[in-house]
Amino acid sequence: MKKQIWKFNLLVQSNFKIEMPKGAEIISVQNQGGNGVMWAICDTQAEKESRTFAIFGTGHNMPADGLKYVGTYLGHGALVWHLFEILI
The CA radius of gyration of the chain, in Å to the nearest whole number, is 13
Could you count the other beta carbons within 10 Å of the beta carbon of residue 21?
18
Residue 83 near residue 10 (C-beta atoms within 8 A):
yes
Handedness of CA 60, 77, 73, 22 (dihedral sign): positive
How does pLDDT run across 28-64, given as a tens digit for each residue? 999 999 899 999 999 999 999 999 999 999 999 998 8
The pLDDT, as a whole number, for residue 34 is 87
